Structure 1
Amino acid sequence: MSSGKSYRPGPNNHRTKFGINIQNHNQDNRAMSSSKKFFGHIGNAVQSYQAALRVLKPVKYTAVNSVVLKETNKKQYHPDRELQKHIEDYLTAFGERSKLAHTESDLKLNQKIEALSPSNASDKELIQKITANHIPKVRLLPGTPSWAEFTKVLKSIQSRNTICMSIDIEAWEKNPSIVTEIGISIWDPRVEDGKYSISGPTFQNHHILIDQSLPLRNTQFMPDHKYQYLLGKSKVMDIRHCQAFIQGLIDKYMVPDPNESQTLGYQRAFVGHGFASDLKWLKTLQLRISDDIPIFDTMKFFQSIYGSTGSGLGKALRLLQIPHAYMHNAGNDAYYTLRLLLHMCDIEKRKLLALDDIERIQNIIEGWRSHDSGNSSGKSKRRKKLVSTEFQGVAPFSSLP
């Protein structure tokens, strides 16, 4: 999971941070696992983790033996026709607004650059700069692959017919092949919150600390929030028991019961924010994960609408006004990611926060970017280590909408 400007060690991270060439630094990190020696309790932890990983074998599938879950598996999904019409009407209206905004945006951009000549070197550079800074940039248009993905995810969540498992991984920054924390948050729409409940959907949350890597702390590039889990007690597990525990959750929630009728209608999906790296780490634990299970990546979902700027988890939570703290704790981030997905796919929430006004949202994000980068729009007060909460800031009362 990526949270924006912070550096997260990983195989495909080629950015520059604090004057460090991250690509070269990653190569050093990968080499570190085999060449650099760690001593004392750190060295013992590294050796213990690597030794345990070498003998790890996939866990065999075990059938669900929970009576409650067996009954839940029998629950059939019944489409709500009124809700389906509500979703289709919303998507039709949003699609029309997007096409209109795209046309108007292109017209405004052409007006900005019509007096410039692409054949002139200085004009060409200016055209590129104007185009890059132009707002709004409308990317989500009916008929495009991104629109198809957007509608699929929104329909799945808004229709409440998809069981979601959000997963976040934290790895040790000095050797990214070593997993230190695993966070899991599950939303099962088959489980009803009660007829009179008004607090929203109930999630099942887990935060796992791997015993072998417990002494390994991130202090250079990340805030160290390993012990600041906000949703219950963290579970310290031997890597083998950790593997069995996670595989059990995957088998229960992501693998349909062999006896379950295909007509029951409930789908499954993994959820993550920049999930590709998390998936690679999960597979190092020899977990059985089917390639047929869809992935709802909230970072890609956000970027398809608003662009890559501000698509880190912290900024997205800030935009959707979701309270959060102690990020880069895997358990917290898994929960925040799932909560973010539900907010972004909630039609009424989208209307309330005017999330479909692309120009307005991109201007807000650009204002944050300008402030946080420390240019003339405002001096940055962010520390080198990423803060764990994104704040909205302050404004004179007379300037508030």
Structure 2
Amino acid sequence: MFQGISGHLETKAETRRLGADALIHPQNPIHVEGVDGIYTFLGMFHNGESRYFFSSAQIDYIRYWLNAMNLTSDIIPLPHSDCFVPKEELSTVAPAVHPDKKTLRKAVDKVKKVSNRLVQGVNVSLLARRTAFERVRKFWTTKVGAWCALDFEEWTGDHRVVTEFGYSLLHWKDGVEVKDFKHFTVWEARAMRNGQYVPENREHYNFGTSEEIKKAKLKAKIATLLSELRGHGPIFLVFHDPRGDLETLQRLEAPISGAVSELPDSIPSEGLFIVDTAALFAALMGEGQRTFKLQQVCNQLGIETEWLHNAGNDAFYTLLALREMAEGGPLDTQKEARWPTRKGMETALTVQLLEERPGLSSDEEDDMIGGGYSTTTGILKQ
């Protein structure tokens, strides 16, 4: 746990004075075994401003190491109190690794520029998304809890009729990944076919064999799944735009009471939390209000997809997208690394806006057949 944060890196000049070559050298006293580069922390203040820090534990270790190596006659004193930032002043703190001095300098400069823009004109919605992004990244690296992407497909003739359910689950046992993913079709809805507004792809599950199940057993299956997940600690239910799926879970009387969408700063020991990959990707794109469809997100993250609008496939790709972002490094440096030659990312993707039609779910609002999607694969036409 952080008691304080120190070692504020403000400018290129200050970074150079610290000796970038020494910082990333494997014989540096604060080098972490198995980590390629310098291990720092990215902290975000409550106003959205971010900075890179060293932890007080790292600073203490250096002080005592210098004395133990006879490089100082006495243990050098702590830095001035102005160099310390209490954890309470930060909305989130997450690890950040820089493999070389060029990456470190670029990261510091990038974060400072973005922070200055945010402070000058705070976008509350974007700030919330950025905070969620860094907390997800932080929690994922701890390898604690269970991350389970859920997705439903419903009949467009009556959204109360569930036609498919899929999930993709990942948790850790003794540090080793444990995965599970499944796809179910609902027996009572076997004759209720989509295809007019969204693709009908229930027969095209990519990751195993689909199981046909009656609605009553589906309710029990979901309840059992969520109950079993509680044994792994905190549960992170992952959705790509959770609105429709949460309504379906409530209609199926799933045990999700108490679920919250705002992630705490520190990793919880238990609880049920909602994670939205649409909002996370929007944070990566610098968007406070706009969201992107799963197909667009996967395209931009380099994830190949096939047969979207199959509940099992959508759940699998949703968790894959979350993982790609969670393991991609701090938000601003990740964006720079993914799209180094692209400027004005806000205009790089376009969303086809359609007239709102009564009865369409959130999944269908801009996914209608004839609105740019293949009727067979569910892939966005170019």
Q: Tell me, yes or no, whether TM beats 0.5.
A: yes
Is 1:150–2:133 an aligned residue pair?
Answer: yes
CA distance in 2, matches of 1:390, 1:104: 34
Aligned partners of 2:254, 2:117: CA distance in 1, in Å?
49
| Deviation sequence 1:252-307 (CA, Å, 0-9, x none) | 01x248xxxxxxxx422111011121011011112222324111111111223322
Aligned AA (1:384): G
For structure 2, which runs of at least 5 residues remain unmatched after alignment? 1-31, 44-49, 53-106, 260-271, 354-368
- Higher relative helix content: 1
Aligned in 2, Cα 1:310/1:148: closer, same or farther, shift over 3 Å? closer
Partner of 1:301: 280
Determine the C-alpha separation between the residues in 1 that align with 2:237 and 2:172.
14
Is the aligned partner of 1:281 residue 2:294? Answer: no
What secondary structure does 2:219 align onto? helix
1:183 aligns with 166
* Pairing of 1:22-37 with structure 2 (within 5 A): none
Identify the residue that residue 101 of structure 1 maps to in structure 2: 114
Aligned to 1:389: 379
Q: Give the structure with the higher percent strand.
A: 2
Q: Kindly tell me the number of residue pairs found equivalent between the two proteins.
A: 257
* Corresponding letter in the other structure for 1:334: A
Residues 111 and 332 in structure 2, CA contact (< 8 A), matched pair in contact too = no
Shift of 1:159: 2.1
AA aligned opposite 1:183: G
Whole-angstrom distance in 1 between the partners of 2:214 and 2:201: 20
Go from structure 1 to structure 2 and tell me whether the alpha carbon gap of 1:279 and 1:204 turns closer, same or farther (over 3 Å shift).
same
Partner residue of 1:249 out of 225, 233, 250: 225
Please state how far the C-alpha of 1:155 moved relative to its aligned partner.
0.5
Aligned equivalent of 1:320? 301
Whether the 8 Å CA contact 1:178–1:213 is kept in 2: the answer is yes
Separation of aligned partners in 2, 1:105 and 1:360:
22
Over residues 182-213 of structure 1, what are the superposed CA-to-partner deviations in whole Å (9 max), with x where a residue is unaligned? 111111122655xxxxxxx5531111111101
Shift in CA distance, 141/237, structure 1 to aligned 2, threshold 3 Å: closer
3-state SS in 2 of match to 1:369: coil
Q: % of aligned pairs identical?
A: 20
Q: Which whole-Å CA distance do the structure 2 matches of 1:101 and 1:268 have between them?
A: 32
Distance across 2 between alignment mates of 1:330 and 1:236: 13
Confirm or deny that 1:347 pairs with 2:334.
Answer: no
1:191/1:383 CA distance change after superposition, 3 Å = farther
Task: Tell me the distance in 1 between the aligned counterparts of 2:131 and 2:322.
Answer: 17
Is 1:169–1:330's contact at 8 Å kept on the other side of the alignment? yes
Amino acid at match of 1:341: L
Q: 1:106 to 1:362 in 2, by over 3 A?
A: farther
Greater alpha carbon shift after TM alignment, 287-296 vs 331-340: 287-296
Which of the numbers 178, 187, 196 marks the counterpart of 1:220? 196
Report the secondary structure of 1:271's partner residue: strand
In structure 2, what is the equivalent of residue 291 of structure 1?
A: 258
Alignment RMSD (CA, Å) = 3.8
One-letter code aligned to 2:284: I
SS in 1 for 2:160: coil
Alignment of 1:23-172 (within 5 A): 86=39, 88-89=41-42, 92-93=51-52, 97-101=110-114, 103=116, 144-172=127-155
The residue type paired with residue 186 of structure 2 is I
